Chains A and B, each alone.
Chain A
Amino acid sequence: MEGELVLLGGGGGGGGGGSSGVSTNESAVLSNVEVVSEACSYPAESELELGLGLSLGGATGKTKPATATSSWGECGRILTAKDFPSVVSHRTKNGGPSVSVSGTKRAAESVSHEGGSPTGISGSSQVVGWPPIRAYRMNSLVNQAKSQRADEGDSGIGEKDKPKDALKKKLNYNGNKISSTTTVNEKGHLGFVKVNMDGIPIGRKVDLNAHSCYQSLAQALEDMFLRSTNSVGAEKEQLTKASKLLDGSFEFVLTYEDKEGDWMLVGDVPWRMFVSSVRRLRIMRTSEANGLAPRFHDSNERQRSKPI
């Protein structure tokens, strides 16, 4: 294969494989040449000059992106674990696989590639939307994990656990795991929960996996809802200040619905407990939130008896 991208009429077309494509789409290519020549008259011509000769594995034309987010132009190779020996330690910390490093690299350097987490990834080494499993199926996996854990917590009776023992033994493939189901839930892979704010018709989704504490979650939500999209250049000066959504001093307050269907104020229970019981979030007007008990004693006690 020649490895050259020839636009029109050149010898072998786009390599042997593409020749039939070129011949049938000749008229298409012709009109595309038009596109190219006119491109030269546009201001950003240095980027759009589609010169002949696009070498395999090399830079894509003259585009040399300034930011590290698009390192493709430079090396055209997806970075692998060999490039990042230090990332391996992430595994035990987050329970997530460290081997999908290409995601990590981009995650570390680019906020943009991790769609749901505007404040950046705090320690998560998963790539958004990979592996490609539908959200509905992921929900079911996690719900299964939650209900199995609930069963385990509610009864210490061996009989009930018997059918699960075989499962657990089998799932003890890796010595690190106690049970695959708890691992799934601790990682909380189904991290996306819906967030609605009073007065705004369109809800958003936020990835809870991208956060390890309430501050960072609240910050993300503030960025999503309380900041206009035109202030990209603005400094995120609120990073160091405590989030107004959490301290009750603001017009709005952050609340969540737990799996029992009760609405609670965010921030009272330990983070992990929150993550395992939250179903969805709502940024509520403080005036409306006065009826919410900050601590719902019964459910807290129930939660305390469940193994974490």
Chain B
Amino acid sequence: MPKRLASSLSDEVLEHVFSFIQSEKDRNVVSAVCKSWYEIERWCRRKIFVGNCYAVSPEMVIRRFPQVRSIELKGKPHFTDFNLVPDGWGGYVLPWITEMAGAYPWLDEIRLKRMVVTDESLELIAKSFKDFKVLVLASCEGFSTDGLAAIAASCKNLRELDLRESEVDDSSVHWLSHFPETYTSMVSLNISCLGSGEVSFSALERLVSRCPNLRSLKLNRAVPLDKTANILRLAPQLVEFSACTYSAELRSDVFSNLAGAFSNCKELRSLSGFWDVVPDYLPAIYSVCSRLTSLNLSYATILSPDLIKLVSHCPSLQRLLVLDYIEDSGLEALASNCKDLQELRVFPSDPFDAEPNASLTEQGLVAVSLGCPKLQSVLYFCRRMSNAALVTIAQNRPNLNRFRLCIIEPNTADYLTGEPFDVGFGAIVEHCKALIRLSLSGLLTDCVFEYIGKYAKKLEMLSVAFAGDSDLGLHHVLSGCESLRKLEIRDCPFGDKALLTNAAKLETMQSLWMSSCSVSFEACKLLSQKMPRLNVEVIDERGPPDSRPENCTVDKLYIYRSVAGPRFDMPPFVWTKDEDLALRLSP
């Protein structure tokens, strides 16, 4: 008689079946079916994603999943990007690398976002993982070209090195030269964040010429135009390329060299960079435009007429990032030319001026929403908006899944009616049933939150600033949004009531950020006491919150669920209910 009637499939068969299940969410579901599936699954899980590095400890991850090959970790809260989180808050990757060095000798992929990565960590990676292939450091800091040199020297099978938007200290080491001459495996290299002193161009050229599998190359800014052409000629198989500084004056020899180089690149699908580009050079890329699916012009100060010309050559475009120089007229051209467009991001060229720098209004966004049936993801900075426009967008594009609108001036009302944007955003959440990410702006009352709580059932991430009237607003969101994982709030009149009433909700979410709101330290302590699986961190550089009058509100608050308990690396300006000084980072 078979020992286990319930499971008529052997472990090996199940493991083989599970190997087809890649998505993490599905894997989590599989592991919850029964004990034996949990056991089998945990031994064959190869890829881990930890959205908050303090939610779990490396030891716990290793204990449950002993044979991981790929890990992704995120550290600091999102609002770090806007300088709202002081330096030294945390997010250190070294403890993770140290543990994994011993436990996962076959680890070959590490992806980090907003973490502090030291040269020591990089050296440990280089030393510990024999078959290391992929290193992505997104918005990270704390390391120098010394660490990069260690990676270059030791990782013979490195395929991907991506330093997107990280801060790298220049230690004057020619790190690129540390790739041995025998090294030929690079597939994707992104060094766009490095300064001119940190990249030896000749070493780069040699590297590119000996890596036949190179598909994605994002160079740093200071590479001049003629060198760009040379690099392209060495790598005509590129799919993704980030161009660099364009020289100020048009020279026909440079132009034709560049145009020739681009015309060789038949696989090119994605272009970015374009810092300091001069419009006269743009025609050099026309030969690749018809195949382009992604174009990032958000650093290019070129004006609407040239942008329109460019965009009209790109009918296959799916993703466009651009500055507001494109103007409404450019967006109208985009809407009529690029029917495959899925993602649009429009950034402000001069964000701090009250006067508009370019003629970009809500009309541009409406045009794209009407003209591009596949539009799903929007990030739009503008200076005026109307409820009518938002309703139109919502009704025409119910397939939107990411909608982030930033009306630059806080508390701006509907320019046509003078009213708040409750109705407009209400229409967005009502019609766009697949919405997973939303950012609000403009004048907003508690009403908008009522709509969000009622309709935004798939919403996972919500960003709120300068909005609402009372705790009721926050309460609507916390009690209504079933799928909410991340909530970040600044400068809103939300306080203790909504927070304490919805304490249990917080454990179902990844994190909550509140800054310049109305939460008291007493409430934080109470919440922390009642909810042991939440870490409630008050960030306040003014000193101990206890030392202030009782009614004073906390500066910044970051609450996240964790099974790892309180962390031990908190800097002096992070306060929790525990007075235990052993939890503090020792100087």
Contact = CB atoms under 8 A, between A and B. Distances in A.
A174 B355 contact: yes
A128 B516 CA distance: 11
A66 interface: yes
Given A170-B303, A204-B88, A189 B352 contact: yes
A173 B357 contact: yes
A85 interface: no
A138 to B, nearest CB: 8
B470 A54 contact: yes
Contact of B542 (A1, A38, A232): A232
A63 B504 contact: no
A25 B358 CA distance: 47
B495 A63 contact: yes
DSSP majority for the B interface?
A: loop
A115 B480 contact: no
B84 A61 contact: no
A35 B470 CA distance: 21
Interface stretch (A105-113, A211-219, A263-271): A105-113
B543 A1 contact: no
Interface in A157-181: 159-160, 163-164, 166-167, 170-171, 173-174, 177, 180
B139 A136 contact: yes
Nearest to A111: B542
A180 B350 contact: yes
B472 interface: yes
| Most interface-central of B353, B465, B542, B556 (chain A CB within 10 A) | B353
B450 A15 contact: yes
Contacts of B139: 134, 136
Interface in A229-267: 229-233, 261
B56 interface: no
Interface string B21-52: 00000000000000000000000000000000
Contact of B275 (A7, A17, A103, A144): A144
A47 B165 contact: no
Interface string B300-332: 010100000000000000000000010000000
A56 B353 contact: no
B551 A144 contact: no
A201 interface: yes
B479 A171 contact: no
A21 B446 contact: no
A25 B83 contact: no
B81 A48 contact: no
A300 interface: no
B83 A229 contact: no
Contacts of A14: 472, 475-476, 479
Interface in A39-75: 39, 42, 44, 47-48, 50, 54-58, 60-61, 63-67, 69-70, 72-73
Interface residues of A, number: 113
A65 B553 contact: yes
A137 to B, nearest CB: 7
B353 A183 contact: yes
Nearest to A46: B550
27 contacts: A15-B472, A17-B450, A17-B476, A17-B480, A39-B500, A47-B496, A57-B470, A60-B471, A60-B497, A61-B497, A66-B552, A70-B518, A70-B552, A97-B409, A99-B409, A131-B406, A132-B439, A134-B81, A134-B82, A134-B165, A141-B349, A183-B350, A192-B83, A202-B87, A203-B88, A205-B86, A229-B541
Interface of B: 79, 81-84, 86-88, 139, 165, 193, 197, 221, 248-250, 275-276, 278-280, 298-299, 301, 303, 325, 347-358, 381, 406, 408-411, 439, 446-447, 450-451, 453-454, 463, 465-466, 469-472, 475-476, 479-482, 490-491, 493, 495-498, 500-505, 516-518, 520, 522-523, 526, 530, 540-544, 547-553, 555-556, 571-573, 585, 587
Given A38-B530, A72-B518, 6 more contacts: A35-B530, A60-B497, A127-B491, A136-B193, A160-B248, A180-B350
Question: 9 tightest CB-CB pairs across the interface, nearest first?
Answer: A232-B543, A129-B82, A72-B493, A21-B479, A17-B450, A28-B504, A21-B480, A202-B88, A17-B454
